[in-house]
């Protein structure tokens, strides 16, 4: 059980910058998600925490101790690999007991510990089977067993559900989260699936192009994106960006988007130039009376809601509206935006402009 | 009309394939069987025409098995006068066999020694090649080595001409270093020839083992060497076994260097066997006996590692 502090961590492979100076803190007992598209440096970050890669520079503190240059065996961190990496020449029992054997634990204690872990994971009946013939879920459980058996300070998980069937993944995600809640161990979990991250994480770090874009709770990241990348990456459909050129005074609570005045959270930062008006699909309302006009291009029926694609002066956007509301293709409608949820972005840098809404949001 | 299946051959195909395999086996087995059989013939039966090939039959094509060949292989004999033979009755069953030709056994031949030399040099160089090859292959496979590709090419380039092409320099080098006609010299030579094969073969095997296994072991509290020893080696067993067989077959059968560099102390069996010449012509049964015994170690070694070899040569062809 431990707190992990990452300070200015950097990793370079030759000319390639895998992770640029990143800093964030993982609190004791947190289920911490490292989220980002493939190649963004999230796995490299995880491997540096575990000791499988040495950082080019920067520090990693585990419970206050600087460990960035130590071999993995001296870090007391467990790692669950995407492909499980169960030792193929050993049976389930030996796989799980392997980390204990390396510590020189007496045989009877090892047996007891393995039995206990098998009980937690519900794999008592497969302990003596070779790992080769196991199903994906059972392999996953054995890999988890091998990780939890020695009660490490923290768990690293590299897309542990990535190799499972979609159907089974959800079940395993619940199991994993339940296991974490029961053990309360600090867990760092890498995924490229934003849904998985939102569903399971206590806190999320969003990475892109070797940089930490944002760091916070799932709600913060969803409601108050710090950059356009985060706003676009999280949520399905993702946040809409109405492109416009305009001027925003400090303290203003209104902005003119293509000559229509739209309310926004009170600005804390004056800005002039290319901006994007960021609004989530569920915060758009179709209303005939509204000034902001758009043409309905298509509708997608999703049961309780429907997704309506609209053409506006600022580009195509999507709105999520109740399915009983009628929207006909080709019609022109008016749009209302839920003002308190709007984020304005500087289109040049992709950064969110400071406002009443996103004050105090942690930025990478 | 039987039903058609994509992955199950029809009965006719099975019969055809089976017949082909058996036919091929017979063709390849004939020389081996003939050699083994000749080892148990008398010198006269060995060269008789038409050939004799039915064991223990009185017909024209039959012969009575005898251990003459093996006795001649393992002993040196001398011809004696009738008086001497009558005065000294045979001392053993082997002695009794050679009495037919008015001879007595005067001592062991060099075959045992030469055979032992072959075992020491063959298995010694195989062990050394595979041992060094595994370590080098692991390093090439796992670590960032500057100029790794060039180094691998240089290692392979030692095989780009027949090794015997450098026989004269090696001969002179060995003479200056005092390695001529020594076990160590031959082991080093065969290792030098085999190591490039070993490194390349083993590298491809180790490349095929995901690094996650070692990383898991590192995380589980093992050192890099323990991870190599406890996790990588067991999984590379297939590759190691097939590499060992290839190395052993080369070292065991090597003839040219053995003729050139060994004379007495470290001479191996291949240059020795042709020197078994009987009185009044080549002693074919003794030569055949020598060849039969010479074949055995590689056969046994290959059969022991057969399971691995079969997986080994098809490894990588099909991903499981």
Provide the CATH number for the domain around residue B261: 1.10.3720.10
Same domain (yes/no): B128, B104 = no
More confident residue, B288 or B85: B288
Q: How far lies A187's CA from each of A4, A78, A176, in Å?
A: 10, 9, 11
Helix (H) or strand (E) segment spanning residue A55: none
Same domain (yes/no): B257, B127 = yes
Cβ pair A144, A176 in contact under 8 A? yes
**Facing residue for B213 by CB, picked from A73, A87, A99:** A87
Same domain (yes/no): B119, B265 = yes
pLDDT at A361 over 80: no
Instruction: Read off the pLDDT band of B319 (50, 70, 90).
Output: very low
- Please give the pLDDT value at position B134: 96
Domain-embedded: residue B139: yes
Q: In the listed set B62, B81, B109, which residue is the last one of a domain according to the structure?
A: B109
The arithmetic mean of pLDDT across residues B19-33, rounded, is 94
Same domain (yes/no): B146, B37 = no
Cβ pair B263, B272 in contact under 8 A? no
On the 0-12 / 13-18 / 19+ scale of CB atoms within 10 A, B45 is buried
- Please give the pLDDT value at position B276: 80
pLDDT one-digit tens code per residue, A126-156: 999 988 888 888 888 899 899 989 888 899 9
Of all residues in chain A, the percent with pLDDT exceeding 70 is 99
**Facing residue for B213 by CB, picked from A85, A99, A103:** A85
Domain-embedded: residue B176: yes
Interface of A with B in 92-121 (CB under 8 A): 98-99, 102-103
pLDDT one-digit tens code per residue, B262-316: 988 999 999 988 888 766 677 889 999 999 999 999 989 888 888 776 665 544 4
Domain-embedded: residue B68: yes
pLDDT at A360 over 80: no
pLDDT one-digit tens code per residue, B88-127: 888 888 888 888 888 888 888 889 999 999 999 999 999 9
Q: Do B220 and A102 touch (CB under 8 A)?
A: yes
Of all residues in chain A, the percent with pLDDT exceeding 90 is 48
Same domain (yes/no): B122, B259 = yes
Same domain (yes/no): B122, B263 = yes
* Bridge partners (DSSP) listed for residue A255: A262
- Please give the pLDDT value at position B8: 76
Same domain (yes/no): B99, B132 = no
Contacts of A98 in chain B (CB under 8 A): 217, 220
Interface of B with A in 88-107 (CB under 8 A): none
Q: In the listed set B54, B86, B109, which residue is the last one of a domain according to the structure?
A: B109
Same domain (yes/no): B123, B240 = yes
- Please give the pLDDT value at position A140: 86
Q: Lowest mean pLDDT: which of A84-93, A194-203, A354-363, B33-42?
A: A354-363
Dist. CA A231–CA A353, nearest whole Å? 13
Instruction: Read off the pLDDT band of B83 (50, 70, 90).
Output: confident
pLDDT one-digit tens code per residue, A154-210: 999 998 888 778 778 888 888 888 888 888 889 999 999 998 899 889 999 999 999
Q: What is the largest CA-CA distance in chain B?
A: 84
- Please give the pLDDT value at position A243: 92
The answer to whether residue A54 neighbours chain B at the CB level (below 8 Å) is: no
Count how many residues are written for chain B. 320
Q: Do B216 and A85 touch (CB under 8 A)?
A: yes
Q: How far lies A67's CA from each of A212, A276, B96, B101, B309, in Å?
A: 21, 42, 81, 85, 45
Same domain (yes/no): B176, B239 = yes
Phi, psi (rounded to 5 degrees) for B286: -70, -40
How many other CB atoms are found less than 10 A from the CB of residue A167?
7
Q: Is A14 left (phi over 0), alpha (psi -120 to 50) or beta?
A: left
Structural domains of chain B, count: 2
More confident residue, A78 or B90: A78
Contacts of A89 in chain B (CB under 8 A): 234-235
Domain-embedded: residue B131: yes
Same domain (yes/no): B118, B64 = no
- Please give the pLDDT value at position B164: 86
pLDDT at A74 over 90: no
The answer to whether residue A277 neighbours chain B at the CB level (below 8 Å) is: no
Domain-embedded: residue B244: yes
The answer to whether residue A77 neighbours chain B at the CB level (below 8 Å) is: yes
> Which one of B216, B232, B239 would you mutate to disrupt binding with A, by most A Cβ within 10 Å of its Cβ?
B216
- Please give the pLDDT value at position A50: 92
Domain-embedded: residue B307: no
Instruction: Read off the pLDDT band of B30 (50, 70, 90).
Output: very high
pLDDT at B320 over 50: no
The arithmetic mean of pLDDT across residues B180-205, rounded, is 93
Instruction: Read off the pLDDT band of B2 (50, 70, 90).
Output: low
Q: In the listed set B68, B88, B109, which residue is the last one of a domain according to the structure?
A: B109
The domain of B248 spans 112-275
Our CA-based measurement puts residue B39 at a distance from the nearest CA of chain A, in whole angstroms, of 45
Domain-embedded: residue B170: yes
Residue of A nearest to B226 (CA): A102
pLDDT at A296 over 80: yes
Dist. CA A36–CA A204, nearest whole Å? 10
pLDDT at B317 over 50: no
Q: Do B218 and A52 touch (CB under 8 A)?
A: yes
Instruction: Read off the pLDDT band of A251 (50, 70, 90).
Output: confident
The answer to whether residue A71 neighbours chain B at the CB level (below 8 Å) is: yes
Dist. CA A280–CA A155, nearest whole Å? 34
Same domain (yes/no): B231, B159 = yes
Same domain (yes/no): B127, B269 = yes
pLDDT one-digit tens code per residue, B193-239: 999 999 999 999 999 888 889 999 999 888 889 999 988 998 888 88
Domain-embedded: residue B2: no
Q: Do B231 and A87 touch (CB under 8 A)?
A: yes
Q: Do A103 and B221 touch (CB under 8 A)?
A: yes
Domains recognised in chain A with CATH numbers: 4-223 (3.40.50.300), 238-346 (2.40.50.140)
- Please give the pLDDT value at position A138: 87
Q: Do B231 and A52 touch (CB under 8 A)?
A: no
């Amino acid at each position: 059980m431990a707190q992990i502090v990452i300070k200015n961590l950097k990793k370079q492979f030759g000319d390639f910058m895998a992770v640029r100076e990143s800093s964030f803190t993982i609190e004791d007992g947190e289920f911490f998600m490292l989220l980002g598209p493939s190649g963004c440096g999230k796995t490299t970050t995880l491997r540096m925490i575990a000791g499988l890669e040495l950082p080019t520079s920067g520090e990693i503190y585990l419970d206050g101790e600087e460990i960035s240059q130590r071999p993995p065996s001296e870090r007391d961190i467990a790692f669950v690999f995407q492909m499980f990496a169960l030792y193929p020449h050993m049976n389930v029992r030996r796989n799980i007991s392997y980390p204990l054997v390396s510590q020189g634990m007496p045989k009877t204690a090892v047996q007891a510990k393995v039995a206990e872990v098998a009980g937690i994971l519900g794999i008592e009946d497969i302990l003596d089977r070779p790992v080769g013939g196991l199903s994906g879920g059972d392999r996953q459980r054995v890999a988890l067993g091998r990780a939890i058996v020695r009660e490490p300070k923290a768990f690293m998980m590299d897309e542990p559900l990535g190799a499972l069937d979609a159907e089974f993944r959800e079940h395993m995600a619940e199991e994993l989260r339940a296991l974490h809640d029961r053990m309360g161990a600090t867990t760092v979990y890498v995924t490229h699936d934003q849904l998985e991250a939102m569903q399971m994480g206590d806190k999320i770090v969003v990475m892109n192009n070797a940089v930490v874009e944002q760091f916070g709770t799932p709600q913060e990241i969803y409601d108050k994106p710090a950059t356009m990348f985060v706003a676009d990456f999280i949520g399905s459909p993702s946040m809409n960006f109405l492109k416009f050129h305009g001027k925003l005074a400090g303290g203003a609570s209104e902005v003119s988007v293509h000559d229509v005045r739209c309310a926004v959270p009170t600005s804390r930062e004056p800005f002039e130039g290319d901006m994007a008006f960021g609004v989530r699909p569920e915060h758009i309302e179709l209303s005939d009376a509204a000034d902001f006009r758009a043409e309905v291009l298509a509708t997608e029926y999703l049961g309780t809601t429907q997704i309506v694609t609209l053409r506006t002066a600022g580009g195509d956007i999507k709105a999520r509206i109740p399915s009983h509301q009628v929207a006909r293709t080709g019609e022109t409608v008016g749009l209302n935006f839920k003002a308190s949820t709007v984020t304005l972005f500087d289109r040049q840098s992709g950064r969110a402009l400071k406002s009443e809404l996103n004050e105090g949001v942690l930025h990478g | 009309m039987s039903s058609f299946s994509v992955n199950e051959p029809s009965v006719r195909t099975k019969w055809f394939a089976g017949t082909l395999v058996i036919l091929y086996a017979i063709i390849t087995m004939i020389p081996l069987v003939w050699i083994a059989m000749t080892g148990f013939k008398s010198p006269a039966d060995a060269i008789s025409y038409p050939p004799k090939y039915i064991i223990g039959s009185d017909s024209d094509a039959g012969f009575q098995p005898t251990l003459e060949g093996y006795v001649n292989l393992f002993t040196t004999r001398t011809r004696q006068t009738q008086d001497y033979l009558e005065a000294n009755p045979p001392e053993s069953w082997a002695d009794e066999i050679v009495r037919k030709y008015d001879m007595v056994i005067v001592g062991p031949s060099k075959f045992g020694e030469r055979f032992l030399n072959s075992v020491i040099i063959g298995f010694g160089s195989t062990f050394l090649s595979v041992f060094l090859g595994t370590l080098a292959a692991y390093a090439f496979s796992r670590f960032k080595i500057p100029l790794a590709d060039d180094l691998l090419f240089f290692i392979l380039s030692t095989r780009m001409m027949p090794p015997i092409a450098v026989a004269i320099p090696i001969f002179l080098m060995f003479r200056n270093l005092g390695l001529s006609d020594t076990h160590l010299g031959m082991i080093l030579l065969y290792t030098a020839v085999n190591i490039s094969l070993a490194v390349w073969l083993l590298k491809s095997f180790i490349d095929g083992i995901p690094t996650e296994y070692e990383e898991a072991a590192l995380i589980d509290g093992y050192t890099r060497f323990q991870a190599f020893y406890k996790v990588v080696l067991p999984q590379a067993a297939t590759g190691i076994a097939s590499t060992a067989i290839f190395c052993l077959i080369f070292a065991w059968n090597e003839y040219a260097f053995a003729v050139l560099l060994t004379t007495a102390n470290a001479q191996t069996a291949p240059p020795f066997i042709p020197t078994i010449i009987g009185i009044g012509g080549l002693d074919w049964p003794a030569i055949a006996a020598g060849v039969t015994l010479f074949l055995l170690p590689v056969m046994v070694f290959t059969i022991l590692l057969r399971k691995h070899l079969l997986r080994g040569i098809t490894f990588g062809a099909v991903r499981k």
